[in-house]
Structure 1
C-alpha cells in the first residue's frame, strides 16, 4: 500500500513538472529572453539588420532625454494623463448613479460599456470620419448654429491632441465604469438601509459609504491611467500616424525601430517605458499598503 502511494506521488509530481515545463519554457522564450536582448541592444547602435553593432554605453538613454524630437513625446502624454482623470470622474459618476435603482439601468450600462468592446482600429476609423472636414462633428456644429467653432480637429496643433484625448475618454470610460460599478455593488446593502434610516441622502451615502469603500480601486485606476497615458498607440497611429505634434512615446519607439532603423535607440526607449511603469506600479503598491495599514 505504501509503495502504491509512493508511486502515485511520483506520478503526480511528474505530471506537474511536465505540464509546467512547456508554459515555463514559452514564458522564458517569448518574454524574458526578448527582455534580456532588449536590454543588450539598448546599449548599442544596432540598426536591426547588420550582423554586428557597436557598444555606445548610455548614449541612447541620454539622447532620449536631451533631444527635443524624442523628449517632446512626454508632453503629448500629458493630454492623455489629463484625460485619465476626466474619464475616471465620468465613470465614477455613472457607476454611483446606476448602482442605485434607476430606470433602464441595464440599457445605460450597456451603452457606457459598449465602446470598450470595439477594436482600437475600428474606433480610430470611426473618429477619423467624425473629426474630418465636413464630417459628423462639423455637421452637428453647423446644425446648432456654431459654424464659427469649426476647426481642423486633427490638423490644428492647438487642438489635435485634445481631440485624440477625447477619443481615448470615449473608449476607456466604459472599462473604468464596470470596475467602479462592481466595487460599489460589492458593498453590503444593509449599510445603505441603515444610512437611509438615519436620514442620509444619496450624496451622503456616496461620500461616507461608497467613496471610502472603493478608494483603493480609484487609486489603482489612476495608476493604470498614468501607465496607459505613456503607452498610447493605436488611436493616434490610426488617426494621424503621429504627425503634426501627435507623436506618442510608443509611436516614436516603433518609428525609430522600423522606419529609421535605430533598433538600439528604440530598445532604450522601451526600457525607459518599462522602468516608468514599474516605478509607478511600485509607488501604487506602497501607497496602497500604507493606506491599508
Structure 2
C-alpha cells in the first residue's frame, strides 16, 4: 500500500473553487444605475425634439381652440366650446369634408394599382427595374412642381386636350372649371403622385416572403393568381392595413395639390385649405385651431375603427 508523503501533498495543485451560483452576486450599485440611465440618455434628444415640435404645439393648438385669438393680438379671450359649435352647425365650415370623398375613392384605386404592379414586378419580368423606377419617380418630385405641371396639363387647350385631339376627340373644355371634373382631376393627380409610395411598401413586403413558399406552390401546380391569393395577400396583410390608414388620413388632410392648382376654387376646397384660410386670411386662429383639432380627432377615430375591424394579427405562412 502506497502512502503519500507530505511533500507530494503540498506539490499537488489545489482544485479550483466552484463558480458562484447564478444570482448570488449582484453588480455594484453604480453599474446598475448606469444600466437604467443609459437608454434614457440616448432617448433624451429625440424625446426633447418630439415634445418641442409636436406635443407642445398640439397642446397650444387645443388651448387656442377655446379662445377667439386672431393670431396677431397679444390678447385673447376664453370662449368655451363656441368654436366647435360653429364648426358643426355652420354648413359652410363642415361640408368641405365631402370633398374628401373624391380622394377616398382615389386612394382605393391607388392601393389597387400599387398592389397590382408590385405583384407583377415581384416576379421575373423583363425590364422590371426600369418599371420600378418609372412608378416610384413621381413620389420624388416636389409637390409644388407637380401642381404647376398639371395646372398646364388640365387647362383649356393644354396637354390633355392636345393628346385627346390626336385620337379625334376635341373636348374643348376647361377640366378645372366645374366642381366634379376639377375634383376628379385633382384626385387623379394624387393617385399619380402617391402610388409610388404604396408600390414600394407592397414590393418590399412581397419580396420579404420566403422564396421557398413560391417554389413549393409551383411544384403543387399553383398559378400566379393562386400564389397571390394564398401566399402574397396573407403575407402582406399588415402592410395593406398600414397603407389603408395612411390613405384615409391623407385623404382627409389633402392640401398641397388642390391649393396650388385651384386655391380651393370651384368647389375644390378641402378641410385643411379652409383651416389655413381661417387662420391666415380671416385671422380667426381660434376657430382654425378648433377645426384642426376636429380633423385630428376624426383621423384618430377612423384609425381606431380600422384597427378594430382589421386587427394586425401575426402572419405565419410556414
Q: Structure 1, residues 216-264: CA drift from partner, whole Å, max 9, x if none?
A: 2212211211110011111111111111111011111111000000000
Aligned with 2:52 (options 6, 20, 29): 29
- The corresponding residue for 1:208 is 230
- The corresponding residue for 2:69 is 46
Aligned with 2:145 (options 107, 122, 126): 122
- Check conservation: 1:216, 1:288, Cα contact below 8 A: no
Q: Structure 1, residues 11-43: CA drift from partner, whole Å, max 9, x if none?
A: 777776665444433332322222111111111
Aligned-partner SS, 1:159: helix
If the length of structure 2 is used for normalisation, what is the TM-score? 0.84
Q: Does 1:191 align with 2:213?
A: yes
Q: Does 1:244 align with 2:257?
A: no
Aligned-partner SS, 1:260: coil
> Unpaired segments of 5 or more residues in structure 1?
none
If the length of structure 1 is used for normalisation, what is the TM-score? 0.91
- The corresponding residue for 1:95 is 118
Query: How far did residue 172 of structure 1 move?
Result: 0.6
Q: Structure 1, residues 95-131: CA drift from partner, whole Å, max 9, x if none?
A: 1111111000000010000001111111111111111
Q: Structure 1, residues 61-93: CA drift from partner, whole Å, max 9, x if none?
A: 121122122112101000000000000111011
Q: In angstroms, what is the RMSD of aligned CA positions?
A: 2.2
- For 1:37 and 1:92, the matched residues in 2 are separated by 40
Q: Does 1:167 align with 2:189?
A: yes
Q: Report which stretch shifted further, 51-60 or 75-84.
A: 51-60
Q: Does 1:233 align with 2:260?
A: no
- For 1:86 and 1:241, the matched residues in 2 are separated by 25
- Cα 1:135–1:182 change in 2 (3 A) is same
> Unpaired segments of 5 or more residues in structure 2?
1-26
Q: Does 1:154 align with 2:182?
A: no
Aligned residue-pair number: 290
- The corresponding residue for 1:272 is 294
Q: Structure 1, residues 188-241: CA drift from partner, whole Å, max 9, x if none?
A: 111111111111111111122211222222122112111100111111111111
- Check conservation: 1:220, 1:284, Cα contact below 8 A: no
Structure with the higher helix share, 1 or 2: 1
- For 2:150 and 2:304, the matched residues in 1 are separated by 35
- The corresponding residue for 1:76 is 99
- Cα 1:26–1:199 change in 2 (3 A) is closer
- For 1:225 and 1:278, the matched residues in 2 are separated by 13
Equivalence map 1:173-184=2 (5 Å): 173-184=195-206
